[in-house]
Amino acid sequence: MTTLNKACISTQIYDLNGWVYLTGVKLNNSNTRSRQRRVNRNKTLDGGVYLDDLGYAHGDRTVTLAVDVDETTENKLTNIIENHALVWLSLTEGAFTAAIQSMSIRANSLSMSILLKASA
């Protein structure tokens, strides 16, 4: 588990309670520095292969965050996940357009799975 220290999530359209600043964030099963290209290998009839390289996309990545939250932060995140399809996610690595796939809270410990769409 990697400690990220901080992250910011905000809605893309105006919402008075549409932002949270998280500190002490841990990345569960996420390596924000790993990269993978969209490459397919197909066999050809002449016995060779064809490599189809479609490049790199942030949209292939999923980030899982874990952090302890208070009730106010929990309420803000609940509002964001229930009312907004896309959010801005700011990490140490950069800013991204993203969608929150899931969120679970147990005893003030939050776990959130976020699908990246593109760098902002």
* Strand 19-27 to 37-43 pairing: unpaired
Average pLDDT score over the chain: 87
Q: What is the pLDDT of residue 37?
A: 82
Phi, psi angles (nearest 5°) of residue 44: -105, 165
By three-state DSSP, how is residue 30 classified?
coil
| Domain interval for residue 107 | 2-30+55-119
Amino acid 15: pLDDT: 92
**Residue 77's pLDDT band (boundaries 50, 70, 90)?**
very high
Average pLDDT over residues 84-105: 92
Beta bridge partners of 47: none
C-beta of residue 83 within 8 angstroms of C-beta of residue 17: no
pLDDT band at 31 (very low <50, low <70, confident <90, very high): low
Residue 63 lies in a domain: yes
List CB contacts of 43: < 8 A, sequence separation 6 or more.
Answer: 49, 50
DSSP single-letter state for residue 73: H
Confirm whether 48 is domain-assigned.
no
Q: What is the pLDDT of residue 25?
A: 87
- Angstrom CA distances, 25 to 5, 39, 48, 65, 88, stand at 5, 32, 47, 6, 16
What's 109's domain CATH number?
2.30.110.10
Number of domains in the chain: 1
Q: Please give the model's pTM, rounded to 2 decimal places.
A: 0.77
